[in-house]
Amino acid sequence: MKIMKSRLRRPDGTFAEITAKVSEKPKKTQAEKDAEVAAQFEANLKNQEPKQAGDR
């Protein structure tokens, strides 16, 4: 979570402090990306396995 600070100048000359939150998507590491690809590959292989006769 990133925080951005600023302030507002009101018409009467006073100031109000502002804190805004910015949602940041966490970045994936290369190892996490590799693990995702491997898991997807395994899942695809399973889907391609011949069905058992009893499955019908």
Partner 1 sequence: MTTTKLGLDGKVYVSTTRHDDGGSITWSEFDLVESVEHEQSKAEATARNRSSKFAKTAGGTRQVSYTLSATYDASDAVITLLQTAYNSDTVIALAVMDGDITTTGEKGFYMDVEVVSAPKPEDLDEIDSIQFKVVPAIKSTFEPTPVTIA
Query: Are 5 and 19 in contact, with CB atoms under 8 Å apart?
Result: yes
Residue 26 CB, shortest distance to partner 1, in Å, is: 16
| Nearer of residues 19 and 52 to partner 1, judged by Cβ | 19
Minimal distance, residue 56 CB to partner 1, in Å: 27
Q: Are 32 and 40 in contact (CB under 8 A)?
A: no
* Phi-psi domain of 13 (left: phi exceeds 0; alpha: psi -120 through 50; beta: other): left
Residues that bind partner 1 (CB under 8 A): 3-9, 11, 15-23
Query: Least Å distance between CB 54 and partner 1?
Result: 31
